[in-house]
Structure 1
């Protein structure tokens, strides 16, 4: 069921379709609310936020308050790191911000998982899911939840950049060299950099360099994101 969600979000063509797929996956994962935010750092310190979510209308004004976001420990964690954060009431009380948790808990934001993907050229993508019930106590089950959300975020990132960003900020289809495409192709097949080097008769260092060049051209921060984007653009089959 979740596998279909990964593919469906890649195929979304409009903002509304993207939002529907994000909400659907979130609810399949066992969470009630979700926020998917594209962040663009412009020059002169200006930052633009473009979001889709299913926040309750009664909580909308508080949810959209940027001054609150600047205090929120979950948002601040994602601003600085790419490691997902699993949060609950203790996350806020430990930061001396129990009042923030109290204000959101009555609307169902009691615990959740949030993560950010940081891209070149001042672009970021943040995905957070929330619910009223406690998260699983079993560490294996919780780890699986986080992994599912991470994989979905990688898929959703490309669509978010395509359907949420203004046209002038969208990246044109890049020109990858044959060797860069070969490295991505073998990466898609699950090969390590060392194995790619052996297959292509080049050094592991050179294989890594080709993959990094492809990532940069595609505007991606990991080789797995680069593979997904290359597939969507028709550069790989």
Structure 2
């Protein structure tokens, strides 16, 4: 299911296109609200924020309350870690912030899953899905997996749109680096790629690391997505 939405996010050329892809993805998993936020350095030494969400207007004041944000256990988790979090009322109770959950629950934010990516050059991306219906334990792993996959594509799209007015230089990858990316795109491991190319697993891993470095990525999956955007993997 996620593949169609991933492709739509990657193909987005405007904020409206990406917003549509993000909202449709959230709805396909049964979530009522969604928020995709990127933080990138600005030219004046500060940071530029770009958010795509469908938060209720009445919730905006609470959403942007910095004092509460510094106490919110979900936000604190996302700021420090890239591991997805599945949260509910107990998450806030255990953190001594039960009143924060009660305040957001009035707007339907009772249960959710969220993930964050902390990329090179002080770039951060957060994707959160929220609902007022309990998330079944049997569905949790599937939902998290689909969200993580979509997040890779959405973060690339939103970061590209945030820098729409700047020019991106296409990196120059070697033939082996492109091959490593290509076979990764096909779902091959480093060992399998090495066997296909007739090189050692260590060498295959080095080619991937070099490609990731040139593409400014900290994961091989993000490197594949960025290479597709640049037209390196046709």
Q: How does 1:7-156 map to 2 (within 5 A)?
A: 7-41=7-41, 46-138=46-138, 141-156=139-154
Q: How does 1:140-219 map to 2 (within 5 A)?
A: 141-165=139-163, 167-168=165-166, 171-219=168-216
Within 2, Cα distance between the matches of 1:228 and 1:145? Answer: 21
The answer (yes or no) to whether the contact 2:2–2:149 under 8 Å persists in 1 is no
Within 2, Cα distance between the matches of 1:45 and 1:69? Answer: 23
Within 1, Cα distance between the matches of 2:55 and 2:120? Answer: 29
Q: Residue 218 of structure 2 aligns with which residue?
A: 221
Of 214-223 and 62-71, the range deviating more from structure 2: 62-71
RMSD: 1.8
Unmatched segments (≥5 aa) in structure 1 = none
The answer (yes or no) to whether the contact 1:113–1:128 under 8 Å persists in 2 is yes
Alignment: residue pair count: 234
User: What's the secondary structure of 1:4's corresponding residue?
Assistant: helix
After superposition, the Cα gap between the structure-2 partners of 1:191 and 1:124, relative to the gap in structure 1 and judged at 3 Å, is same
Within 2, Cα distance between the matches of 1:32 and 1:159? Answer: 22
Of 57-66 and 37-46, the range deviating more from structure 2: 37-46
TM-score (norm 1): 0.92
TM-score (norm 2): 0.93
User: What's the secondary structure of 1:167's corresponding residue?
Assistant: coil
User: What's the secondary structure of 2:137's corresponding residue?
Assistant: coil
Unmatched segments (≥5 aa) in structure 2 = none
